[in-house]
Amino acid sequence: MRRIVDLSHVLDPGKAGRKFSLEMIGAETVNPNVVRLENQWYIMHNVNMVSHIGTHIEAPYHLLKDRDDLAALSLELLMGDAVILDLRESPRSSAIDCMQVRKAAGQAGGIRKDDIVFCNLGGAPFYGTDRYRLTPYFAPEAIGWLVDSTKYSQVEAWMQWYINHLNPDGTIYDYNVSNGTETSTGTYDSADSYAATFLSLAEALWSTGDSGAQTFIQNLGESNFTLIANVITGLQQSNGLVFAMSSYQVEYLMDNAEDYRGLSDFATLATQAWNDTATTTAYQTYATNIQNGIQNTLFIPGSGLYYTSAGAAAPNLSTWYPDSVAQLWPIVNGVISPTSTQAQTVYKQFNNAWPAWSQLSFNSQDQFPWCVVGYAGYLMNDPTDTERYLDSIQTKYVNVSPSFPYPFYDAEGGWFMRTNAGMEAQH
C-alpha cells in the first residue's frame, strides 16, 4: 500500500539556524485600498530569509552557474516512489563511506531505478541546537555508488535471468515476450557469441570493484560460468577456431573475436572471483588457440585484411557488412592491439573504403548505426572521426523525439556509452 508523505517543514524563527525573520503587518500597509474594520484580523507578513533553509532541494544552479535553477526543474522529479536510508549511526561531522550506504540500501530493500533516495542522518534530535550543524557528509565514492547502483542491479538482474534460462548444455535460446509472458523460440542466432559476451559482461561487472557486484558473481557459482565457457570450447576445432553452433558449422571472424575475448575474460575472472588458477590457465590456453586460429586461418598477409569466415572469398571493402565492419572486430575484442602495425593497416584500409563513416555514410547499405565502429575509432586514437561520429548519432538518435528510435537498440546503446566514456576519459 502506497503512502503519500508531505515533506513540508514548519519553520520557527528561533530554530531555523539561518537567516529567517517574520514581521507581522496589517494588510492595509501592503494594499492601501484595503479597509480594515476596527479589531478586524487581517494580516500579512514581511519575510526575510535565505533560500537555503527548511524543506528545500539543491538546484544544479546552486553550484553550477550554467545549469538549471528551481524554476526549470520539473515537478515530476519531486514526486515518486522513495526509499529511506537509515544512516543515523553515522558520527556527526564524519564521512559516510560507500559500505555504509550499501548496507543501508540493503536494509531498506534495495534501490530501484527512478527511486527518490532520502538519507536519515540522525539530525532531528539536535534541531535548534549547535550540534545540528555538525552534519555527516558523503564520501565521493558513496555518491558515485548511489548514482550507479541501479545500473549494477539491472546488470545483475539480467545475468540472473540468463543463468535461470540456461539449457542443460549451457546454451540459451532466444525468447519472445508478450504481455509479460516469455516464450522460448527454441533456437538461437549463435551458441558461441551468446556465451562469450555473457562472460565478458561478468568480468566487466567484477572489475567495477563494487563489492556487492563481486559477491553476486561469486554467488552465481563458478560452475555456471564454466558451463557457459564450455559452450565455446565444445565448438572449438583443431585449427583453434569455433563454429557458430553445432548445426551451423561456420567459423566466423566476428564470432571468433568475441569468443577469444569471452574466454580470456573468464580466465581472468576465475582467479579474481574464485582464486582458481588452474581454470585460468586452461581457459587462457583455449583463448590463445582462438587467437592463433584467427591469425593463421583468417588473416590474409597479402592484403593485411581478414576473411569474414573460414573458406570465404577475400573481403570486398565496398560492402559494409560483413566485409568491411568485420575487419574491426579483432581490434575491438583485443585479438590484436590497436597500436600494432596490423591494426593500423586494417583501420587505414577501412577509412579509405569508408571515408565518411563518421557521418553514417554506410546507411546507404545498412540502416543500423553500428556504434561499435565509433568504439573502434576511439581505440585507434582517432578523435576527429570518433567525435564527428558521436555528433552524428546525437543528431539522428538523441536530439529527436522520441529519442533513440529504431533501429537503435540495446547493443547500440552499450557501444555508444562505452565510446562516450572512453572519449571523456581521454579528455
- Can you tell me the mean pLDDT for 262-273? 97
pLDDT score for 232: 98
Hey, is 14 helix, strand or coil?
A: coil
Cis peptide before 322 (omega within 30 of 0): yes
Residue 103 in this model has a pLDDT that exceeds 90: no
pLDDT score for 274: 97
pLDDT (tens digit per residue) in 370-403:
999 999 999 999 999 999 999 999 999 999 999 9
pLDDT (tens digit per residue) in 22-46:
888 888 888 888 887 888 888 888 8
Greatest alpha-carbon pair distance for the chain in Å reads: 105
Residue 1 in this model has a pLDDT that exceeds 60: no
**Cα separation, 190 vs 247, whole angstroms:** 10
pLDDT score for 148: 67
Helix ranges restricted to H, 75-183? 98-107, 140-164
Q: Are strands 181-184 and 137-138 parallel, antiparallel or unpaired?
A: unpaired
Per DSSP, the residues of 301-326 read: TTTTEE-SBTTPPPP-TTSIIIIIGG
Residue 246 in this model has a pLDDT that exceeds 80: yes
Residue 324 in this model has a pLDDT that exceeds 70: yes
Cis peptide before 301 (omega within 30 of 0): no
Kindly tell me the burial class for residue 135, based on how many C-beta atoms sit within 10 Å of its own C-beta (0-12, 13-18, 19 or more). Answer: middle
Domain boundaries, the chain: 1-70, 80-149
Q: Are strands 82-86 and 116-120 parallel, antiparallel or unpaired?
A: parallel
Residue 150 in this model has a pLDDT that exceeds 70: no
Q: What percent of the chain clears pLDDT 70, i.e. is strictly above it?
A: 98
Residue 146 in this model has a pLDDT that exceeds 80: no
Output 239 or 157, whichever has higher pLDDT: 239
- Residue 259, phi-psi category: left (phi > 0), alpha (psi -120 to 50), beta (remainder): alpha
Asked if 153 contacts 109 with a C-beta cutoff of 8 angstroms, the reply is no
Helix ranges restricted to H, 91-210? 98-107, 140-164, 192-206
The strand pairing partners of 183, in sequence order, are 176
pTM for this predicted structure? 0.71
Hey, is 243 helix, strand or coil?
A: coil
